[in-house]
């Protein structure tokens, strides 16, 4: 008597896996779909197994029983053995190594054993050499059944060997789960071979597939189910595997420039729905004859498309995507708004080979190319110095901090009334052995996002305090030096203590230091920042608001913050040639002066600009007209020269 309870238990397990796949929207993406197919086929196998065993346990069979039993046996043998092949395909897709079976003859060889199996089954009704079923004696194996077992073994063992080979494509825990699943399936076959009455095979398969779903597929990690696209984590792991296998693919990165504005405008729920519709539209287009597109999403608003490179060369899938996907997205309006996409094509491995470079280019392509274009090609970008720098920025930061490559330059600022250079702004540069002088416009934003801004800011503070302590500022005619603070530094709890420690270390008078904070950063003003500013003012430091006129200017902030100086951004000075621009600058300056703020205008490059600013009664002028930022010694020489006879 056969124990059919294992099969019965396997069925709800398969159904559960399918329901989870469906509810977590794991029906999108090649590997996901293949996994769903594996589970569906397993479910059919389990049902077919029951269809065989139940009539077999009630001999002699009725006419219907005989019919069901015969049909189920054919179905079971065809489907169950096909499943081993599908599982292997799933493994190839999961590790993105399908390129291994791209060649026609390999594909033929891959399916050959299965085709032989189907042929064996097809001839069985005439020869009964694989199995026989009679109503009286039930099911019995025939001599060719061994061939069927052998074919099952071919796929099973190939799968096991490939699973071991896959070690480098999967993280250790996922690989261990996959191996466990294969071992479980093989153990079940062995058990059932020696104890045919124990129908454990499908139950063990169900356990194995559950294990794959919980520890390898991990819906919560693999999918961004809110938008129905594969997740950012999946993108990273797929890119790593593509780089490892050397697969030829085309990647199109789509940055949705106004994603945050749209999210704020339509709300989270509608935003997700909008993205989900965009993904469906991309999916719906038949981009190429054969290749499908994997769609990934990185919050808040970057979509990545990966498609196979067309090796026939007739049509480049990437070029077509690049040309059309932007218009497709722009054409999809929701609630009256629409995304503004910027697209970039990366050809792998032609443009880039390393996974980190591909990932990093997706993040930085907009920063690198300053032209206001909407379509980018990695091939135009990857050889630039800026890309190399951005891609290795962490390395550069580590080197800069370790070897003290952060150097301060000083730009003199003219005090209009006295005609002397009474202050200066300290501006950081990295002097890298490989990339030379790197501008803060490049590395400060990167330091902020990569988490290096605090150590870099500390190095800046240390150097400027040292500079102030080493020189007699009064003798040079200098009242104070300005230091730029990043918002992250302003929000650091220990900022006042750090500055107080430097003050003690170098014996610096706080009156000699003015701290600059950027206006846009006030958007995020927090209690800690307020407390820090007030504490530092109490200690004797003064503050300036930098880049006034660029951010979200709020008169409120100017009124309520204890600021000594307002620095007007050079963009306002650039408008001075027009009557309106001049008027705005003039009124802004008068307004600030009337509430007791001192004014610095940045970016004066010509004598005309300097004259206009003088005529407007500007307090301080900073600009290339007087001097560019200078290294320490040159700056001292500049002051000695310029301030000596005034």
> Which residues contact Mg ion by CB under 5 A?
484, 516, 546-547, 602
Contact 481, 508 (CB under 8 A): no
Taking the least distance from each CB to ligand C2E, the nearer of 81 and 622 is 622
Q: What is the largest CA-CA distance in the chain?
A: 122
Which segment (10-18, 189-197, 533-541, 623-631) binds ligand C2E by CB under 6 A? 623-631
Shortest gap between Cβ of 468 and ligand C2E (angstroms)? 14
393 interface partner picked from Mg ion, ligand C2E, none, CB below 5 to 8 A per type: none
Q: Is 439 in the site for ligand C2E (CB under 6 A)?
A: yes
Taking the least distance from each CB to ligand C2E, the nearer of 235 and 548 is 548
Q: Is 607 in the site for ligand C2E (CB under 6 A)?
A: no
At 334 the three-state DSSP class reads strand
208 interface partner picked from ligand C2E, Mg ion, none, CB below 5 to 8 A per type: none
Q: Which of residues 529-568 bind ligand C2E (CB under 6 A)?
A: 546-547
Contact 307, 249 (CB under 8 A): yes
Token duo for residue 589: 């300056």
Contact 573, 603 (CB under 8 A): yes
Taking the least distance from each CB to Mg ion, the nearer of 85 and 426 is 426
Taking the least distance from each CB to ligand C2E, the nearer of 152 and 442 is 442
Q: Is 622 in the site for ligand C2E (CB under 6 A)?
A: yes
Contacts of 93 (CB under 8 A, 6+ apart): 30, 31, 34
Shortest gap between Cβ of 428 and ligand C2E (angstroms)? 3
Q: Is 486 in the site for ligand C2E (CB under 6 A)?
A: yes
Q: Is 612 in the site for ligand C2E (CB under 6 A)?
A: no
Which segment (30-38, 79-87, 220-228, 483-491) binds ligand C2E by CB under 6 A? 483-491
Backbone angles phi, psi at 372, to 5 degrees: -85, 65
96 interface partner picked from Mg ion, ligand C2E, none, CB below 5 to 8 A per type: none
Query: Which residue, 381, 242, 385, is CA-closest to 304?
Result: 242
Q: Is 190 in the site for ligand C2E (CB under 6 A)?
A: no
Cα 55 to Cα 67: distance, rounded to the nearest angstrom: 9
Cα 212 to Cα 174: distance, rounded to the nearest angstrom: 8
Contact 277, 226 (CB under 8 A): no
Question: Which residue bears the tokens 């190319």?
Answer: 369
Q: Is 629 in the site for ligand C2E (CB under 6 A)?
A: yes
Cα 472 to Cα 304: distance, rounded to the nearest angstrom: 56
Q: Is 427 in the site for ligand C2E (CB under 6 A)?
A: yes
At 487 the three-state DSSP class reads helix
49 interface partner picked from Mg ion, ligand C2E, none, CB below 5 to 8 A per type: none
Cα 43 to Cα 38: distance, rounded to the nearest angstrom: 9
Q: Is 463 in the site for ligand C2E (CB under 6 A)?
A: no
DSSP class of residue 337? B
Cα 444 to Cα 612: distance, rounded to the nearest angstrom: 32
Q: Which of residues 568-597 bind ligand C2E (CB under 6 A)?
A: 570
Angle at 77 between CA 75 and CA 79, to 5 degrees: 60
427 interface partner picked from ligand C2E, Mg ion, none, CB below 5 to 8 A per type: ligand C2E
Q: Is 519 in the site for ligand C2E (CB under 6 A)?
A: no
Residues that bind ligand C2E (CB under 6 A): 411, 427-428, 439-441, 444, 457, 460, 484-486, 518, 546-547, 570, 602-605, 622-624, 629
């Amino acid at each position: 008597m056969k124990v059919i309870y294992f099969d019965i238990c396997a069925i709800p397990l398969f159904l559960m896996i399918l329901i989870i796949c469906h509810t977590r929207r794991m029906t999108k993406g090649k590997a996901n779909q293949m996994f769903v197919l594996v589970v569906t086929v397993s479910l059919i196998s389990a049902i077919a197994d029951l269809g065989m065993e139940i009539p077999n346990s009630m001999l002699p069979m009725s006419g219907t029983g005989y019919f069901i039993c015969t049909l189920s046996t054919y179905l079971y043998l065809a489907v169950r053995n096909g499943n081993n092949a599908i599982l292997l395909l799933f493994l190839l897709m999961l590790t993105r190594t399908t390129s291994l079976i791209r060649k026609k003859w390999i594909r033929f060889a891959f399916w050959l054993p299965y085709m032989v199996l189907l042929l064996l089954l097809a001839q069985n009704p005439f020869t009964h050499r694989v199995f026989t079923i009679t109503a009286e004696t039930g099911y019995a194996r025939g001599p060719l059944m061994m061939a069927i077992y052998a074919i099952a073994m071919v796929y099973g063992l190939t799968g096991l060997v490939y699973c071991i080979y896959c070690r480098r494509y999967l993280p250790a825990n996922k690989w261990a789960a996959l191996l466990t699943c294969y071992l479980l399936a093989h153990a079940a076959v062995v058990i059932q071979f020696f104890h045919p009455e124990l129908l454990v095979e499908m139950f063990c398969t169900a356990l194995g597939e559950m294990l794959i779903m919980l520890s390898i597929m991990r819906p919560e990690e693999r999918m961004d189910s809110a938008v129905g696209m594969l997740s950012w984590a999946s993108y990273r792991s797929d890119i790593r595997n593509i780089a490892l296998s050397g697969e030829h693919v085309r990647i199109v990165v789509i940055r949705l420039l106004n994603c945050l504005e749209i999210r704020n405008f339509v709300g989270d729920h509608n935003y997700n729905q909008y993205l989900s519709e965009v993904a469906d539209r991309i999916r719906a287009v038949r981009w190429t004859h054969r290749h499908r597109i994997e769609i990934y999403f990185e919050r808040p608003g970057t979509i990545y498309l990966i498609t196979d490179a067309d090796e026939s060369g007739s049509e480049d899938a990437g070029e077509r995507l690049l040309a059309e996907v932007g218009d497709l997205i722009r054409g999809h309006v929701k609630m009256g708004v629409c995304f503004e996409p910027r697209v970039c094509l990366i050809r792998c491995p032609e443009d880039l080979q390393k996974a980190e470079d591909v990932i990093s280019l997706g993040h930085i392509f907009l920063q690198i190319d300053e032209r206001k274009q909407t379509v980018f090609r990695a091939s135009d970008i990857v050889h630039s110095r800026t890309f190399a720098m951005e891609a290795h920025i962490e390395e550069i930061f580590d080197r800069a901090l370790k070897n003290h490559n952060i150097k301060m330059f000083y730009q003199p600022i003219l005090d209009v009334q006295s005609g002397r250079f009474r202050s200066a702004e300290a501006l950081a540069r990295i002097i890298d052995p490989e990339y030379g002088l790197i501008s803060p416009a490049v590395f400060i934003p990167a330091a902020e996002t990569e988490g290096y801004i605090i150590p870099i800011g500390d190095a800046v503070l240390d150097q400027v305090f040292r500079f102030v302590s080493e020189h007699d500022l009064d003798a040079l005619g200098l009242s104070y030096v300005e230091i730029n603070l990043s918002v992250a530094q302003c929000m650091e709890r220990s900022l006042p203590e750090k500055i107080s420690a430097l003050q003690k270390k170098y014996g610096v008078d706080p009156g000699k230091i003015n701290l600059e904070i950027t206006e846009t950063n006030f958007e995020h003003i927090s209690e800690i920042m307020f407390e820090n500013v007030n504490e530092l003012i109490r200690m004797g430091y003064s503050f300036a608001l930098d880049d006034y006129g660029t951010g979200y200017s709020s008169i409120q902030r100017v009124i309520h913050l204890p600021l000594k100086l307002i620095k007007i951004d050079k963009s306002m000075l650039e408008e001075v040639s027009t009557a309106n621009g001049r008027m705005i600058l003039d009124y802004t300056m008068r307004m600030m002066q009337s509430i007791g703020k001192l004014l610095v205008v940045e970016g004066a490059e010509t004598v005309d600009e300097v004259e206009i600013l003088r005529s407007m009664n500007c307090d301080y002028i900073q600009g290339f007209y007087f001097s560019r930022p200078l290294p320490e010694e040159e700056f001292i020489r500049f002051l000695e020269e310029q301030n000596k006879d005034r």
